[in-house]
Amino acid sequence: MANESDAGAQVTVTVVYSAAPRTAQELVMQFPSGCLVADALALAAPQLGIGTVQMPELGIGIWGKKVALHHALHDADRLELYRPLTVDPKVARRERFVRQGAKSAGLFAKRRANSKAGY
């Protein structure tokens, strides 16, 4: 732990992990004040079903911003664990556009009758 001076103080942190698409586990946990992200993960991982093998693959962030393992947690933080992407978002968008076609997707898909392109 980083700071042991506030021995009695606690911070409440929400730990969120999604093991599969469209599922999420959310734990609200109490940690000692000054707790680091690495310490919090060590305590939360068994409850989330995350093994030590999976840990290096996961991205870690607080409220959507990536943080390092030595970052200190504050009260009301939302610690998020990110799975690696399976598909590049740019590739997925291109494939979706090919499937939908140019007429039904994009900026100018909805046109008024008898109007110029783009209006």
81-100 residue pLDDT tens? 888 878 888 988 888 888 77
Distance of alpha carbon 35 from alpha carbon 65, whole angstroms: 18
Please check whether residue 74 is in contact with residue 43, taking contact to mean a CB–CB distance below 8 angstroms: no
Band of the pLDDT at 16, cuts 50, 70, 90?
very high
Distance of alpha carbon 37 from alpha carbon 79, whole angstroms: 8
b (16+ CB within 10 A) / e for 82-111:
eeeeeeeeeeeeeeeeeeeeeeeeeeeeee
Residue whose tokens read 């730990």? 15
CATH topology of domain 10-82: Ubiquitin-like (UB roll) (3.10.20)
What mean pLDDT comes out for the span 23-27? 85
Residue ranges of domains in the chain: 10-82, 86-119
pLDDT at 53 > cutoff 60:
no
pLDDT at 107 > cutoff 70:
no
pLDDT at 109 > cutoff 70:
no
